[in-house]
Amino acid sequence: MNLHEIVWYWPWMLLALPLPLLLWWLLPVKANETMAALRVPTLQPFSALGQSSAELTARPLLLALAGLCWLLLLLAAARPQWLGEAVELPVQGRDLMLAVDLSGSMAEEDFLDGAKRINRLQATKQVAGEFIEARLGDRIGLILFGSNAYLQTPLTFDRKTVRLLLEEAALGIAGDATAIGDAIGLGIKRIDVVKAQNSAAQPVLILVTDGANTAGEVKPLAAAELAAKHGIRIYTIGIGADEMLVRSLFGTHRINPSRDLDEKGLKAIAEITGGRYFRARDREELLQIYQQLDELEPISGDELSFRPIYELYHWPLAVALLVGLLLLWLRGQGSFLLQQGFPQRRGASR
C-alpha cells in the first residue's frame, strides 16, 4: 500500500487536534475555597497518601497515552481511504428506456403466480425487475405513464435504483387513462440527451401496456415515426389474458379482459421503428418475452475506468479503543493520576 494512494474524506477533522490544550488553557484550575479545614497535630497519619516516585513517573506516560488516543480518534474521524489501482470497464450495451403503463386496467387480476392470482402490474414488476437486474453494461431508464407520462429515472447504470423505483410504482398515480404517444415522446426526449454524449450506444424503448391510446397530446404513430428518425428502436409488449372466468348472479361466464388492447397499433409502432411486437397472455409468456429481449446484440461503447475505494478508518479506531482500555486499567490503579494529569497553570490557586 503506497502512502500517496491514501486520501482523507474529511481532513478538516484534524483541525481539532489542539482542542484539549485549548480547553486546558481557557479553563483554569480553581481551588474549592469553601472546603472545610481539618486541624491535626501531626501529618504522620497522612504520610501514606503522598505521591511516590513511581506514581510521578507514570503521569507523563498516561498523558502520552491520552494524547495518542485523541490523535487516533481524529484520524478515524477524518476517514482515511485507500485508492486501488484503476480498473478498466468496457461498456458493451444499449440505452434501454422502459415505459410501463400504470392505468386503471393494469389492476386486472388475470395473471397467475403459481396458485396465486396477481394483477398485470404485479406480474410486470416481477419479470421486468429481473430483466433490469440482469442488464449489466446497459443504461436503464424508467418512464411511468397513465393519463400523463412521467420520467421516474433517467438513463443510468444504477440498476438497483431503477428496479426499486419500479417496485414502488402504484396504480393510478399517473391517471387512469393511457397516453402511449406521450410516453414514446418523453422516451425520445430523454434518450436524445444521453445519445448526444455517446452515439455508439443503441437506444431501445420497451413499451408495456394493456390498452389503447386514450389520452395525451401526441399520436402514437406520429411518435413512432419521430423515434425512427432519431434511430430509436421500439419493442412493444401487449399484456393481458385472452379469456377469464367471471362469476355473477347468472352463473359463470367467459370474458375477454384484453378487449381494449390495441394490438394493431402496437404492431405498427414496432414496425415503423424496426422493433417487434410481443403478446404476453400469462406470466410465462411475459418471462419468455424478456428473455428474447435479453438476447439483443449489444454494441460496444466507450470504456469506463474507476478506482476502487477501501475504507481504513476502522484501523485507527480499533487502536484507539485498545489505548482507551489501557488508560481505564491504569486509572483503576490510582485515580490521582488523572486528577493531577495536567500541570497547573502559573497563577492558579492551589
Residue 231: which region, alpha, beta or left (left: phi > 0; alpha: psi -120 to 50)?
A: left
pLDDT value of position 350? 40
pLDDT value of position 26? 82
Residue 185: which region, alpha, beta or left (left: phi > 0; alpha: psi -120 to 50)?
A: alpha
Residue 145: which region, alpha, beta or left (left: phi > 0; alpha: psi -120 to 50)?
A: beta
Amino acid (one-letter) located at 247: R
pLDDT value of position 321? 92
At residue 139 the predicted structure's pLDDT band, cuts being 50, 70 and 90, is: confident
Please count the CA atoms within 13 angstroms of the CA of 156 that sit on its side-chain side. Answer: 14
Topology adopted by domain 87-305: Rossmann fold (3.40.50)
CB-CB contact of 111 with 283 (8 Å): yes
pLDDT value of position 206? 93
Per residue in 249-277, pLDDT (tens digit) is 665 656 566 778 888 999 999 999 999 99
Per residue in 300-318, pLDDT (tens digit) is 555 566 677 888 889 999 9
Kindly give, in sequence order, each residue whose CB lies less than 8 Å from that of residue 1, ignoring residues fewer than 6 positions away.
Answer: 82
Residues forming beta bridges with residue 92, ordered by sequence position:
300
pLDDT value of position 56? 52
Q: What is the mean pLDDT of the chain?
A: 79
Domain spans of the chain, in order of start: 69-85+309-350, 87-305
Q: How far apart are CA 296 and CA 204, in angstroms?
A: 10
pLDDT value of position 105? 86
Per residue in 174-223, pLDDT (tens digit) is 888 999 999 999 999 998 887 766 555 678 999 999 888 988 899 999 99
pLDDT value of position 41? 62
Higher pLDDT, 327 or 233: 233
Nearest to 223 by CA among 267, 188, 262, 266: 188
Tell whether the model's pLDDT for residue 342 goes beyond 60.
no
Higher pLDDT, 59 or 153: 153
pLDDT over 70 percentage in the chain: 73
pLDDT value of position 348? 44
